[in-house]
């Protein structure tokens, strides 16, 4: 095992001595390892990406206060539990890098939903998270990534990168740039309604991908939500929209064969039903805007991938040339399919109003 990593682990009050430490998971942002100790305990060790999360102390404060709040009336093992350092901090700085450790939660994650039933169960988990945090003071949270789901601001950054064309890559993505520009008027649809008080500000998870839900291997019921890094004040539609964008999609986020990428209405319905059921707090307007939530989040993520491609891949880790462009294309294909199925999506939501 790497000596520096052992030194880092040694600072935390874990049980046993580490005997194994291996890269783990499919995240794009932090570096994640599974650590096993001689007493059989399993932990997740993460190096926090402080390029993305500029204020690590604020990030950890958010996570600790939300997990403590949720732990109050939860079964053990259903809310992330962070292991403090021996001197009582929730993270440690080592050679200018930031590290934290949490309990490993046994179970499985899905990259793509296998059945509508699984996806309905995921919706119950995300809806329940939303519902339970309606009693939490959103204003006490730090905005760890300012303007994270502010689509208009994502467009502003896109225009900046596109105008500069520093990497000379605009020419590789003309159709995608056109696609994004044609839909720019959508950018402020949800944030505008928030400003006017038509949509409520809530505590949101902000990264509600299916693979951030831990499921029980046997019962396939949701156990816990993972990756609370982006817990911030936000809109329920961002959480709902991102979950559907990811879990109702029929292909992986970086699928190159665009014909495989569609939005499954069956999955859309399963998630919508579960989310509305688990979160009775949702207002009529929030429900009416559900299809818009999915569309805007898919558009926004496609735009983020596209911007990162044009800018030289500084944000999302890539594993092949053009990876972020492929990801952008796949999201935009999903947006097109949502546009085709627009009326059907509204008809489905109406069934559960």
3-state secondary structure the chain: CCHHHHHHHHCECCCCCEEEEEECCCCCCCEEEEEEECCCCEEEEEEECCCCCCCHHHHHHHHHHHHHHHHCCCCCCCCCCEECECCCCCCEEECCEEEEEEECCCCECCCCCCCHHHHHHHHHHHHHHHHHHHHCCHHHCCCCCCCCCCHHHHHHHHHHHHHHCCCCCHHHCHHHHHHHHHCHHHCCHHHHHHHCCCCCCEEECCCCCHHHEEECCCCCCEEEECCCCCCEEECHHHHHHHHHHHHCECCCCCCCCHHHCCECHHHHHHHHHHHHHHCCCCCHHHHHCHHHHHHHHHHHHHHHHHHHHHCCCCCCCCCCCCHHHHHHHHHHHHHHHHHHCHHHHHHHHHHCC
Least Å distance, CB 250 to ligand GN1, is 16
Q: Is 27 in the site for Mg ion (CB under 5 A)?
A: yes
Q: Which residue has the tokens 């929209």?
A: 241
- Picked from Mg ion, ligand GN1, none, the partner binding residue 52 (CB below 5 to 8 A depending on kind) is ligand GN1
- Picked from ligand GN1, Mg ion, none, the partner binding residue 14 (CB below 5 to 8 A depending on kind) is none
Least Å distance, CB 245 to ligand GN1, is 8
- Picked from ligand GN1, Mg ion, none, the partner binding residue 338 (CB below 5 to 8 A depending on kind) is none
Q: Is 247 in the site for Mg ion (CB under 5 A)?
A: no
Which CB atom, from 183 or from 214, has the smaller least distance to Mg ion?
214
Taking CB under 5 A as the criterion, which residues in 179-218 touch Mg ion? 212
Least Å distance, CB 27 to ligand GN1, is 4
Least Å distance, CB 318 to Mg ion, is 17
Which CB atom, from 53 or from 273, has the smaller least distance to ligand GN1?
53
Least Å distance, CB 343 to Mg ion, is 33
Stretch that binds Mg ion, among 27-35, 94-102, 145-153, 250-258 (CB under 5 A): 27-35
Dihedral sign computed on CA atoms, order 30, 212, 130, 206:
positive
Which CB atom, from 11 or from 207, has the smaller least distance to ligand GN1?
207
- Picked from ligand GN1, Mg ion, none, the partner binding residue 301 (CB below 5 to 8 A depending on kind) is ligand GN1
Least Å distance, CB 227 to ligand GN1, is 5
Which CB atom, from 94 or from 316, has the smaller least distance to Mg ion?
316
**Which residues contact ligand GN1 by CB under 6 A?**
27-29, 52, 207, 227, 230, 253, 301
- Picked from ligand GN1, Mg ion, none, the partner binding residue 253 (CB below 5 to 8 A depending on kind) is ligand GN1
Least Å distance, CB 310 to ligand GN1, is 17
Which CB atom, from 113 or from 273, has the smaller least distance to ligand GN1?
113
Q: Is 227 in the site for Mg ion (CB under 5 A)?
A: yes
Q: How far apart are CA 174 and CA 195, in angstroms?
A: 33
Query: Which spans of this chain sit near Mg ion (rule: CB under 5 A)?
Result: 27, 212, 227
């Amino acid at each position: 095992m790497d000596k520096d990593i052992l030194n880092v682990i040694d600072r935390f009050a874990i049980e046993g001595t580490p005997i194994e430490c291996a890269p783990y998971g499919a995240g794009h942002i932090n570096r994640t390892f599974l650590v096993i100790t001689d007493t059989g305990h399993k932990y997740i060790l993460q190096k926090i990406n402080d390029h993305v999360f500029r204020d690590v102390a604020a990030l950890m404060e958010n996570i600790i206060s939300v997990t403590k709040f949720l732990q109050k009336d939860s079964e053990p093992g259903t809310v992330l539990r962070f292991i403090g350092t021996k001197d009582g901090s929730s993270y440690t700085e080592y050679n200018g890098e930031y590290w934290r450790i949490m309990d490993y939660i046994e179970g499985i994650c899905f990259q793509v939903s296998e059945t509508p039933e699984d996806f309905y169960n995921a919706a119950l988990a995300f809806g329940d998270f939303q519902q339970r945090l309606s009693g939490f003071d959103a204003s006490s949270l730090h905005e760890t990534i300012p303007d994270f789901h502010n689509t208009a601001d994502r467009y502003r950054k896109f225009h900046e990168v596109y105008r500069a064309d520093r990497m000379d890559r605009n020419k590789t993505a003309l159709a995608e740039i056109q696609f994004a520009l044609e839909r720019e008027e959508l950018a402020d649809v949800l944030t505008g309604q928030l400003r006017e008080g038509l949509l409520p500000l809530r505590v949101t998870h902000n990264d509600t991908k299916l693979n951030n839900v831990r499921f029980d291997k046997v019962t396939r019921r949701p156990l816990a939500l993972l990756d609370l890094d982006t817990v911030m004040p936000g809109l329920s539609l961002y959480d709902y929209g991102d979950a559907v964008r990811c879990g109702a999609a029929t292909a992986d986020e970086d699928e190159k064969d665009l014909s495989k990428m569609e939005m499954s209405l069956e999955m859309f319905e399963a998630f919508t039903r579960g989310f509305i059921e688990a979160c009775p707090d949702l207002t009529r307007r929030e429900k009416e805007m559900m299809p818009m939530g999915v569309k805007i989040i898919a558009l926004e993520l496609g735009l983020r991938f596209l911007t990162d491609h044009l800018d030289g891949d500084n944000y999302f880790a890539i594993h092949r040339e053009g990876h972020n462009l492929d990801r952008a294309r796949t999201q935009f294909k999903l947006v097109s399919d949502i546009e085709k199925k627009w009326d059907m999506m509204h008809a489905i939501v109406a069934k559960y109003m």
